[in-house]
Amino acid sequence: MSTLDSPERGPAALAGPAPRILVLQAPYYRDVVEGMLAGARRVLAGVAATVEVAEVAGGYELPAALAMALKAPGRWDGFLLLGCVVRGETDHYTFICDAICHGVMDVSTRSAAAIGFGLLTVDTLDQAIARSRDDRMNKGAEAAHAVLGQVALARRWGLAG
């Protein structure tokens, strides 16, 4: 494995019932986000997760949508956020990426929710496509592994279902 390869991950060991996962996706780059969602679905199918998908207008709306979803306690065991921001010619990219990342981290630490964060922040659309293909580099699959790990940890510590 080169340093550029993603690690092989096996299925998550989850105690309890199949997890209920809410996917919040910002489909501005629809093909990219759908590729990430397909990768995530493969991982989540391995634990028979129930998956609900909701779309938001763009990446900037992901933190607020997550905060809204958390107002329905017990409805979902974990949250998977998917989106893509491609660098342009202005500072907009930096401000948007910083706002999304800080917003999600703020909601995450305040709520202690199980979250998988799959936001691509790339220089080119080709880079995004490479990270949404049906292979080991699929960042949606990586984010799904992350949320399942967080759900497992919450259950281990008696914090969730």
pLDDT at 116: 98
Instruction: Please choose, from the candidates 72, 47, 53, the residue with its C-alpha nearest in 3D space to the C-alpha of residue 118.
Output: 53
The answer to whether position 87 is within a domain reads: yes
Quote the CA–CA distance of 70 and 114 in Å, as a whole number.
Answer: 11
pLDDT class of 3 with cuts at 50, 70, 90: very low
What confidence score (pLDDT) does residue 102 get? Answer: 98
* Residues with catalytic roles: 92
Mean pLDDT of 44-56: 97
Task: Give the number of domains in the chain.
Answer: 1
Mean pLDDT over residues 9-34, rounded?
91
What is the structure's pLDDT at 13? 79
The average confidence (pLDDT) of the chain is 93
Between CA 89 and CA 27 the distance in angstroms is 21
Whether the per-residue pLDDT at 9 is higher than 50: the answer is: yes
Tell me whether residue 41 is in a domain. yes
> Residue 90's pLDDT band (boundaries 50, 70, 90)?
confident
Residue 3, in any domain of the structure: no
The answer to whether residue 98 is domain-embedded is yes
Which conformational region is residue 112 in: left (phi greater than 0), alpha (psi within -120 to 50 degrees), or beta? left
Expressed as residue numbers, the domain containing 89 is 20-156
Residue % of the chain over a pLDDT of 70: 91
Q: Is residue 11 part of a domain?
A: no
- Is 161 inside a domain boundary? no
Q: Is residue 119 pLDDT above 70, yes or no?
A: yes
Q: What is the CATH number of the domain that holds 145?
A: 3.40.50.960
pLDDT digits (tens, 9 = 90+) for 20-31: 999 999 999 999
Tell me what pLDDT residue 1 has: 41
Per the domain annotation, does 96 fall within a domain? yes
Q: What is the mean pLDDT of residues 103-123?
A: 97
First and final CA of the chain: distance in angstroms? 36
- Note whether residue 147 is domain-resident: yes
Q: What is the pTM of this model?
A: 0.92
pLDDT tens-digit readout, 120-144: 999 999 999 999 999 999 999 999 9
